[in-house]
Structure 1
Amino acid sequence: MAFVAAVLVVLAGAGGAGGAALNSGASGGGGAAPVESISVRKWDAKRAARGGDTDGAMRHLGVAIAKQALKQETDCLGNSFGQVRDFFARTPCTSLDRLLLAVGDHAGNAAVVSVVWVTFPGRNQARQFDRVIDEQGSGDVKPLSGGLVGLPEIGFTARHYWSETNDTTITIAEAEPAAGQVEPDLLDAMTEVAAQLPRP
């Protein structure tokens, strides 16, 4: 029996919150933000993310969420490829939640962040899956389409990637630049922070 999942798309107002710039050449009289400031902001962002405050987490990193889409379903096999898909063929998941965030700053720099939560019946399956998904070139769970948040199709490369294991759930976060100039360190921070978000 086919499972049809609804896609929830939410427009998020910037509300004047995305004040800090994504790239080192952005506006502001103080010049480039040092690398250390990203580390400090990442600490606060992780705390907000663990509490389920997605908007606040991104604000701590200096960006605002422009649009987001969420899809909840159970078809891990049909939404994966490579060795990851082979794993699901042997070990079905119990749920799949996918979130896509379009984020940006006031200078026109933008990025897209994918967050995927995969849940298994037991911890052993989750640990086994974590070993597969973290291996470079092993495939992936397909992120949601960029079209859901008003962007062209984004090719996720896993250059900016983070995963977290929490009991029977694996959280996979990936980020890619979408417009302007987004520093790689910030893209890495976005994935590390987004991977702390609790499953919807």
Structure 2
Amino acid sequence: MGKPDQPRDAKGRWTSRGAGTVVVGGAIALAASGISGGAGVGGSAVDAIGSANVSAARVAQSKQAARKGRSDDAWRGLNLRRVRKAAEPALDCAINSYGQIRDFFLRNPCRSLDRTLFTLADPDGNTFVVSVSWVRMRQQGDVRRLKNLIDVDGTGSVTQLGAAALKTQGVRFTGTPFRSRPQRDLLVVAEGAAVSGTPDPAFFSVVVDVAAELPG
């Protein structure tokens, strides 16, 4: 999610003021490495979503694949190529968050935190990263309170995996697109950031929605 002073749109999502991956135990080899113009993703569908030409049926299939944990099948269903993937577990959510969200975790420690960063490429040569965080709380009631807080402008968020290294490459998470999804004692937080090119906003939002369906 964006910095606390960033604005939100009418739906309460962060708005931008401007514009795979090996993380654990080393620096991120991201963005420009291994990514070139023309992602090499073949095919298109019908009933265009934005400029991506992906049908609603394909989106539904991708969400179903995501719910089963088949992330690569989910991306292929959206005509995306996974360039890189990084994952890292953590026990302390307060250390890996900022703003009021960090304060929330200091008062209500999480049980576990898992974060994954996908680097994806679309058929038009646009590349972007999608961050997914799975926050497991000790009590189910804390999940709804966390969601209510994390969805509000200026409250902070869980720090995306590799966010600091991405920032040095000019890649910033602005909070758009963003989605949080509660499920029992789990809150899934998904967010995207452009690496190169200009992903279609409507399609980019769909990709993040699909990512939020991935199980913890």
Give, in whole Å, the separation in 1 of the partners of 2:171 and 2:64. 28
SS in structure 2 at match of 1:94: strand
- The reply on whether 1:84 has 2:98 as its aligned counterpart is no
SS in structure 2 at match of 1:198: coil
Give, in whole Å, the separation in 1 of the partners of 2:85 and 2:54. 26
Counterpart contact for 2:42–2:79, Cα < 8 Å: yes
- In the alignment of these two chains, the number of paired residues is 181
Give, in whole Å, the separation in 2 of the partners of 1:172 and 1:145. 15
Give, in whole Å, the separation in 2 of the partners of 1:78 and 1:57. 31
Counterpart contact for 2:79–2:123, Cα < 8 Å: no
Q: Closer, same or farther in 2 for the Cα pair 1:177/1:73, shift >3 Å? A: same
Give, in whole Å, the separation in 1 of the partners of 2:63 and 2:55. 12
Match of 2:161 in 1: 144
Counterpart contact for 1:103–1:111, Cα < 8 Å: yes
Give the alignment's TM-score, normalised by structure 2: 0.74
Of 18, 30, 34, the match for 2:48: 34
Match of 1:58 in 2: 75
SS in structure 1 at match of 2:94: coil
- The reply on whether 1:111 has 2:128 as its aligned counterpart is yes
Name stretches of at least 5 consecutive residues in structure 2 with no aligned partner.
Answer: 1-22
Counterpart contact for 1:102–1:113, Cα < 8 Å: yes
SS in structure 2 at match of 1:124: helix
**Residues 155-182 of structure 1: per-residue CA shift (max 9 Å, x gap):** 1111101111111010000012111221
Of 128, 152, 172, the match for 1:135: 152
Give the alignment's TM-score, normalised by structure 1: 0.80
Name stretches of at least 5 consecutive residues in structure 1 with no aligned partner.
Answer: 1-5, 22-29
SS in structure 2 at match of 1:186: helix
Between 1:118-127 and 1:36-45, the stretch displaced more is 36-45
Q: Closer, same or farther in 2 for the Cα pair 1:53/1:147, shift >3 Å? A: farther
Q: Tell me the amino acid that sits aligned with residue 34 of structure 1.
A: A
- The reply on whether 1:19 has 2:42 as its aligned counterpart is yes
**Residues 27-85 of structure 1: per-residue CA shift (max 9 Å, x gap):** xxx9x962284433221110000010000111111111100100001121011111111
Q: Closer, same or farther in 2 for the Cα pair 1:165/1:119, shift >3 Å? A: same
